[in-house]
Structure 1
Amino acid sequence: MINLHKSLGLVLLALVAARLGWRLAHRPPPWPPAMPRWQRGAAEWGHRALYACMLLMPLSGYVASNFSRHGVKFFGLALAPWGPDLPAVYRFLVGVHDATAVLFAVLIAGHIAAAAWHRRHGAALASRMNWSSP
């Protein structure tokens, strides 16, 4: 089961990298003019934190695995390990991985709560989530 976890983590890392590339190349539509400045700031920082977690989570797991005797198998294919077996480094990176998971869960819950609040109060923010340019 852990090898499936690692494989899916690497797939998600590739998808996040592609999404981040898209996001950097395509600016989102402007915020609604009526949206208070503090809400725009909170949304922007929240999105940055979500992207940071989306990158840090799989990266910390991948790097941690390379500093253990287990390494990484990508859907059964053993990837060449590049780090020595260093238990202290492994434990530190697993701690980063675990802490990122908790932070990520909190950010996701906050993101969902903010979206629900805006939806309930009539803000048309869903149109900002399309994949096309404005």
Structure 2
Amino acid sequence: MQRYTKTAMLIHWLTALLIIAAFFLGLTMTEIHGITPTKLKYYSWHKWLGVTVLLLAVLRVLWRRANRPPPHPLGMPAWQAMAADATHLLLYLLIFAVPLSGYLYSSSAGVPVVYLGLIPLPTLIEANAELKPILKTVHYVLTMGMAAAVVGHVLAALKHQFIDRDGVLRRMLP
């Protein structure tokens, strides 16, 4: 059975861990009332995670273009292969869209993004009180869509591992 490259595995699992961390940090920070030092620290960390995910997404696309993924297992029904391809495409789009929407939301709020507290990133849009709630909603909806897609992706991998026993999950495990 063909497997993903070690680099693809590393990028996949690192991206997954960072997305999960950013998701739960985002839930936690938004539940903190008022403006506190802890809340501000969590917002910074959340942004750093988002920027890192975006950078990994670029690296991931470049790696995938140069290193084709293994084909679907021979016995996989066509509808499952199409669903897997569609889910992967959706995840790729969301891995870009979620951090970008957060970046734009932060810019619209007039709050700069300073990566790792060291590297100020360019402001993509000026502060805009009318656009801010729209971008907040866009970021939230995209994030929840990503959470649903990730859950579906994990459930499908577990199905392939424990029900189909076709080795699909093993292709991405070190």
1:26 aligns with 2:67: yes
Where do 4+ consecutive residues of structure 1 move more than 3 Å? 77-80
1:97 aligns with 2:161: no
Greater RCO (Cα-Cα under 8 Å, separation 6 or more): 1
Shift of 1:48: 0.5
1:50 aligns with 2:97: no
Query: What residue identity is the alignment partner of 1:65?
Result: S
For structure 1, the 5+ residue unaligned runs are none
Shift of 1:58: 0.5
Paired with 1:107 and 1:30, the residues of 2 have a C-alpha distance of 21
Name the counterpart of 1:61.
102
Shift of 1:34: 0.8
Question: What percent identity do the matched residue pairs reach?
Answer: 34
* Contact kept in structure 2, 1:13 and 1:55, CA below 8 Å: yes
Select which of 145, 150, 160 maps to 1:118.
160
- Could you tell me the TM-score, scaled by structure 2's length? 0.69
Deviates more, 1:13-22 or 1:39-48: 13-22
Name the counterpart of 2:81.
40
* Contact kept in structure 1, 2:54 and 2:95, CA below 8 Å: yes
Name the counterpart of 2:9.
none
C-alpha RMSD of the superposition: 1.8
* Contact kept in structure 1, 2:104 and 2:124, CA below 8 Å: no
Name the counterpart of 1:11.
52
* Contact kept in structure 1, 2:104 and 2:135, CA below 8 Å: yes
Query: What residue identity is the alignment partner of 1:124?
Result: G
Query: What residue identity is the alignment partner of 2:121?
Result: L
For structure 2, the 5+ residue unaligned runs are 1-41
Paired with 1:54 and 1:67, the residues of 2 have a C-alpha distance of 21
- Could you tell me the TM-score, scaled by structure 1's length? 0.88
Query: Number of residues paired by the alignment?
Result: 131
